Amino acid sequence: FASRVLVDSAEKVLHECDVSVDDVDVYVPHQANVRIIEHARKNLGIPEDRTVVNVDRFGNTSSGSIPLALGDARADGRLVPGEMVLMTGMGAGLTWGSALIEWTANGEGGH
C-alpha cells in the first residue's frame, strides 16, 4: 500500500504540473524503510543517484524524514539553485501527498 500511494501521488503531482519524471533532479521520499523507497523509485523510473536515502543512518524519523533528507542533500551538494525536487510522503491515518518544488538560493524567489 505505502509504495503504491507514493507512486500514485508523485505521478499525480507531476501530471498536474506538466513535468516529466525525467525533469526531476532530486527525489526525496519519506524515509519509512529502504524497501518502500526502492519500490517507489523504481516504479517512478527515477535513478538511484537522484534519490535521497538516509533511513539506513537515522531510521524512520516520522514527520522529520523529508526535511532531514533535504538537509542531507543540501549538505552533500545535491541541492543547488534551479534543481527540480520531488518529495513524496505518507503518515499515520492513511495520509499521503507529494510536492514538486524548484530549489532556490537561500530560500529566496521561486514559484
Nine cell digits for residue 55: 533511513
Give the chain's domains with CATH numbers. Answer: 2-102 (3.40.47.10)
Q: How does pLDDT run along the chain (111 residues), one tens digit per residue? A: 777 889 999 999 999 999 999 999 999 998 888 999 999 999 999 999 999 999 888 767 777 789 999 999 999 999 999 999 999 998 876 888 999 999 997 655 444
CA gap 4, 53 in Å, rounded: 18
14 with 85: CB under 8 angstroms? Answer: no
Report pTM.
0.87
Sign of the torsion formed by the C-alpha atoms of 89, 93, 94 and 97 = negative
The predicted pLDDT at position 111 comes to: 43
12-21 burial, b at 16+ Cβ within 10 Å, e below that, comes to ebbeeeeeee
Q: How many CB atoms are located within 10 Å of the residue 1 CB? A: 9
